[in-house]
A = this chain, B = another copy of it.
């Protein structure tokens, strides 16, 4: 049987390339905070968004982080257990949580942020300033063209 390649080269295939680059980066970044601070990826994401925007509800954390509500709920539970988060419930709508980092959580957050920024800087260091802004733009476009 003759099989001429129908022309899909995995290594040049954009979804594949994006995913391998991203997976490597995510994995090595996750090592940074999981080893030292014993946080899972969802836990770190919840902390990261609450460090910046305290007072969000779990649902708002979902939309901010593009995470599913199940992992968010579980991460919130764990962070509460660890004493890294405070939770109240809205008076107006008692289903709605109001989440923020506790003192301890904020302390941890301020330790992780410099590591995160240093990591990002290291990543970006292989690009020129022009390339960096070009990358921003391209990611915006890809994201925009992909709004579900």
Instruction: Give the shortest distance, in Å, between A72 (CB) and chain B (any CB).
Output: 14
Cα distance, A109 to B117, chains bound together (Å): 42
Instruction: Give the shortest distance, in Å, between A65 (CB) and chain B (any CB).
Output: 7
108-145 of chain A: CB within 8 A of chain B: 109-110, 113-114, 116-117, 119-120, 123-127, 131, 134-139, 141-145
Q: Which residues of B contact A16 (CB under 8 A)?
A: 45, 48
Cα distance, A146 to B26, chains bound together (Å): 11
1-38 of chain A: CB within 8 A of chain B: 1, 3, 5-26, 28-29
Give me the interface of A with B, judged by CB distance under 8 Å: 1, 3, 5-26, 28-29, 45, 48-49, 51-52, 54, 64-66, 103, 106, 109-110, 113-114, 116-117, 119-120, 123-127, 131, 134-139, 141-146, 148
Mind listing 9 A-B residue pairs with CB under 8 Å?
A1-B106, A6-B110, A8-B51, A8-B113, A13-B48, A19-B25, A24-B143, A25-B146, A126-B144
